[in-house]
Every structure is written in C-alpha cells, then in structure tokens.
Amino acid sequence: MPEKKKTIYDVLAEVQSKLNVPKNKYNSFGGYKYRSLEDIFEAVKKLQQELNFNLIVADDMVIVNDRIYVKATATFMYNGESIAVSAFAREPEIKKGMDVAQVTGASSSYARKYALSGLFLLDDNQDPDETNTETQDKVKKDIPKKETKQKNEKWDNKQFLELTNKLIKERNISDNALKIVLEMHGFKTLEEINDKEKATEVYKAIKTMKVEEAK
C-alpha cells in the first residue's frame, strides 16, 4: 500500500510537536526566563529542511480608530497550500523628537513574535524546573530568612530605577529610544511606573532592544 501523502495540516502538526524553543534568556530584574523572536526563527530553520516547508513573516500597517497598528502575519506553506496567523501591536502616538523607524521596528518585533507563537502553539508555561516541587522545596529551605523577608515586602520603585538606569547606561539607550519604549507601555517617564508587572515589561523591552533600535 502506497504511503499516504502528507497534507499541510499533517506537516504543521509535526512542526508543532517537534519545535522546541526553550526560554534560554534570563531577565535578572524580573527573575524570569523568556524566548526572543530570533530564538523562534533559529529553531524553525532547523526543521525546514527536514520537513520541506516554507515560512514567510510579513508586516502591514493598519489604522483602527485613528491609531496605527502593525499587523504581522506568519504564513506556513507546504506543497502549494498555506496557513496564516496574524497578530497586532499598536504603535504609540508619534511625538516630536522620535524616530519613526524605531517606533515601527519595536512594534513589529512584538507582533511577529506572537504571530509565530500562535502558529506553532508555543506555550507560555513555566519552565520544568520551576514546576518541580522537590526543587522548589529545596530552594525555599536554602533561602536565608533575611532574603525571604525582603521578597514579602512591598515592591520599591527605587530599586527599579537604579537597575533600569544602569541598564540604559550599559546598553547606551538613547533618550528617543527610551521614550518609545515608555510610550508603548503607557508611560512618559520611568518615575511614573509603580507596578511591578509593568516595570518588568519595560525592563524586558529595554534589555532585549536591538542595537539599531537603541540608538
């Protein structure tokens, strides 16, 4: 009996089951692991030759209620057929002194990452070590009492400012690039951020900003 011909859905399902994009980057401020857009691209390329598929990622600019969105579309192609998944990222309102290319580039990176995550079913679960009860228990026992007390205290904006300003200096982040990141998260200055979750998002964006975007 001849082997059944694979459909595009068979191949995509195989890619989804085989694709491994570990969160091998670490955010020291937020204390969590994450994957970048480049990590996803690198992992996909390793499967392309084996499974004989193609992938194209493209952007479109969409206006919704006078706001500009970057629409990223990831298109999976096999044997003349295609499956596409899109994701959106809103551009901040452009203000005087901002580089338009930087605004669009940052939005594009966010949108592309989530379009690919949707296409390949990349989960956002914790890493295996973080869900290992035995490991967690051991870590808890090894944590000094003083450190445990600090973690239970209210989050302090002062520490965030110190770490973020140090990162900005190390990465040579320009004022314009910083304004873009803050605007994308709904802030005008670092001092306005008083929520740990938002602070972590801003710190991560600055940490992972490409060299050309940082200028």
CB-based contact 99:78 (threshold 8 Å)? no
The pLDDT score that the predictor gives to residue 163 is 87
Q: What is the pLDDT of residue 2?
A: 63
Residue 40 near residue 117, CB atoms below 8 Å: yes
> CA-CA distances (angstroms) from residue 123 to 12, 76, 118?
16, 18, 9
Q: What mean pLDDT comes out for the span 89-98?
A: 60
pTM of the entire predicted model: 0.54
Question: What stretches of 4-71 show up as alpha helix (H) in DSSP?
Answer: 8-18, 37-51
CB 180 within 8 A of CB 106: yes
Residue 153, token pair as written in the block? 């205290």
> What are 11-70's pLDDT values in tens digits?
999 999 999 999 888 877 677 788 889 999 999 999 999 999 999 999 998 888 778 889
Angle between helices 196-208 and 157-171 (to 10 degrees): 10
Q: 123 is written with which tokens?
A: 């989960």
pLDDT digits (tens, 9 = 90+) for 175-184: 888 888 888 7
Residue 38 sits at φ, ψ, to 5 deg, of -65, -35
